[in-house]
């Protein structure tokens, strides 16, 4: 199908004049999509589908970067938000909703004895780091994965522009699944916290998560699981429930409000109680629409087989895509990593075609087939049997074209758009 992106492109030009990158999120910006061959702005969503400003329809495999766990316009979440809207959004005192949601999280998340709320994932991870520093009286932190935009973390990546060197020096990156590397740094210096995504693309080696639990305990380091992606996807109680290893603190965000802006820091009472004194405070921390949305979303996840379905549809999709990859002899350039609710596409180069050229081509072709794809399968509860068939068929056409382009040696020349540049690589 021939898609026009005329309005998108026009709007992009205008937006770039007054909004840097024309987006509030790097991964949603024009920098991450094939220029001229992708929508730049979305107008609305329903279930598993979105419509761009030119009226093109897509099956959305991005789902608001995993914030939309139930699907767009979910009736239960909408009802809760609308009921709350008629009562008020931001009050002058806390509302009962805070207690209700905190109680739900304490019930379902293994490490959660106390809970505080923020507006996004970075609020929750940053609160965890400040808490850990206050609790241990130590400054340095060890990190593994992606943890948000704040200085203490982003200073450790290639996107550290604007972060002072003394702040950068306090954060140490540790490779995943490498117990020895962690042991080496924890033995050499004292660390306030080790924060990690309990899993992203690699499965934890047997004993790894148990090993870091023991090591952090024996060195007095706070163990923080960043469950902003794994939470409300792997299991209702997150990766800590799924893998059976309980951290001291944990951060949640993304899927907990089905797209409403909410995050949570949860953990052991002994550490969380310090928030009586340390400053984690904001005008909108108890904003009621997001709390109501999150209560409705989590209740639905408890009532209906939401997580089970993320696994089953995600698993069927990755199995089918892996078959298409094999049938086209593309195993050397494309593979799927991670667990079924969140499979990450891993790209490699072939000859003088780079990994990012492969990614750009795949995104472009999938979008042309009506599938909005970034670089992972972010499953939502709204994904249907029909969506499965359509996405697999889009992959068949896309990977057939990729194989022919690679064989002809003309892939990049015929692509018609520049190769996408990576933001930075932490996964």
Q: How far is the CB of 66 from ligand PLP (least distance, A)?
A: 7
Strand partners, 223: 194
Give the E-state strand segments of 168-298 in sequence order. Answer: 171-173, 193-196, 222-226, 249-252, 263-267
Distances from the Cα of 251 to the Cα of 92, 172, 203, 204, 334, angstroms: 26, 19, 20, 19, 31
**Count of residues that bind ligand PLP according to CB under 6 A:** 14
Nearer to ligand PLP, 70 or 344 (CB): 344
Nearer to ligand PLP, 257 or 405 (CB): 257
Q: How far is the CB of 121 from ligand PLP (least distance, A)?
A: 2
Nearer to ligand PLP, 5 or 252 (CB): 252
Nearer to ligand PLP, 258 or 398 (CB): 258
Of residues 57-96, those binding ligand PLP (CB under 6 A) = 65
64: phi > 0 → left, psi -120 to 50 → alpha, else beta; which?
A: left
Strand partners, 250: 225, 266
According to the binding rule CB under 6 A, does residue 341 interact with ligand PLP? Answer: no
Of residues 167-226, those binding ligand PLP (CB under 6 A) = 197, 226
Nearer to ligand PLP, 65 or 134 (CB): 65
List 108, 229, 298, 402, residue binding ligand PLP (CB under 6 A): 229
Nearer to ligand PLP, 151 or 322 (CB): 151
Backbone angles phi, psi at 337, to 5 degrees: -125, 160
Q: How far is the CB of 197 from ligand PLP (least distance, A)?
A: 5
Closest CA to 233 of 254, 213, 251, 217: 254
Nearer to ligand PLP, 71 or 259 (CB): 259
List 131, 228, 306, 406, residue binding ligand PLP (CB under 6 A): 228
276: buried, middle or exposed (CB in 10 Å: 19+, 13-18, 0-12)? exposed
Q: Which residues contact 273 (CB under 8 A, 6 or more apart)?
A: 114
Pair of tokens at residue 363: 């995104």
Per-residue binding string, ligand PLP, 105-144, x by CB under 6 A, is ---------------xxx--x-------------------
Pair of tokens at residue 132: 């850990």
Strand order in the sheet with 334-337: 334-337, 342-347, 376-378
Length of the chain: 427
Q: How far is the CB of 385 from ligand PLP (least distance, A)?
A: 29
Per-residue binding string, ligand PLP, 148-167, x by CB under 6 A, is x-------------------
Site residues, ligand PLP (CB under 6 A): 65, 120-122, 125, 145-148, 197, 226, 228-229, 253
């Amino acid at each position: 199908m021939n898609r026009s992106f005329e309005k998108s492109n026009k709007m992009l030009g205008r937006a770039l004049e007054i909004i840097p990158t024309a987006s509030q999120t790097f991964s949603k910006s024009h920098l991450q999509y094939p220029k001229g061959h992708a929508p730049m702005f979305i107008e609305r969503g329903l279930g598993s589908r979105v419509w761009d400003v030119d009226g093109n329809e897509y099956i959305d495999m991005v789902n608001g970067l995993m914030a939309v766990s139930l699907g767009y316009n979910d009736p239960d979440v909408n009802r809760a938000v609308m009921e709350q809207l008629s009562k008020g959004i931001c009050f002058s005192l806390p509302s009962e909703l805070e207690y209700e949601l905190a109680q739900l999280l304490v019930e379902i998340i293994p490490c959660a004895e106390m809970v505080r709320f923020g507006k996004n994932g970075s609020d929750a991870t940053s609160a965890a780091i400040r808490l850990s520093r206050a609790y241990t009286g130590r400054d340095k932190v060890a990190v593994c994965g992606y943890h948000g935009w704040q200085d203490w973390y982003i200073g450790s990546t290639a996107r550290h522009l604007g972060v002072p060197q003394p702040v950068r020096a306090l954060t140490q990156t540790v490779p995943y699944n490498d117990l020895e590397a962690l042991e080496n740094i924890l033995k050499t210096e004292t660390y306030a916290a080790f924060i990690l995504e309990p899993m992203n693309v690699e499965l934890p080696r047997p004993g790894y998560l148990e090993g870091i639990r023991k090591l952090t305990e024996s060195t007095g380091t706070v163990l923080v699981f960043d469950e902003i992606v794994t939470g409300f996807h792997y299991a209702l109680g997150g990766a800590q429930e799924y893998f059976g290893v309980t951290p001291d603190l944990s951060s949640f965000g993304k899927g907990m409000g089905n797209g409403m802006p909410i995050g949570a820091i949860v953990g052991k009472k002994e550490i969380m109680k310090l928030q009586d004194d340390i400053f984690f405070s904001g005008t909108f921390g108890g904003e009621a629409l997001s709390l109501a949305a999150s209560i409705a979303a989590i209740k639905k996840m408890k009532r209906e087989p939401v997580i089970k379905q993320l696994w089953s549809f995600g698993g069927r999709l990755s199995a089918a895509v892996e078959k298409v990859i094999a049938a086209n002899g593309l195993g050397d350039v494309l593979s799927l990593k991670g667990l079924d609710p969140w499979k990450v596409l891993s790209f490699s180069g072939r000859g003088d075609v780079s990994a990012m050229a492969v990614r750009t081509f795949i995104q472009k072709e999938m979008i042309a087939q009506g599938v909005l794809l970034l670089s992972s399968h972010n499953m939502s509860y709204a994904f249907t049997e029909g969506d499965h068939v359509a996405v697999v068929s889009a992959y068949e056409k896309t990977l057939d074209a990729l194989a022919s382009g690679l064989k002809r040696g003309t892939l990049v020349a015929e692509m018609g758009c520049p190769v996408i540049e990576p933001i930075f690589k932490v996964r």
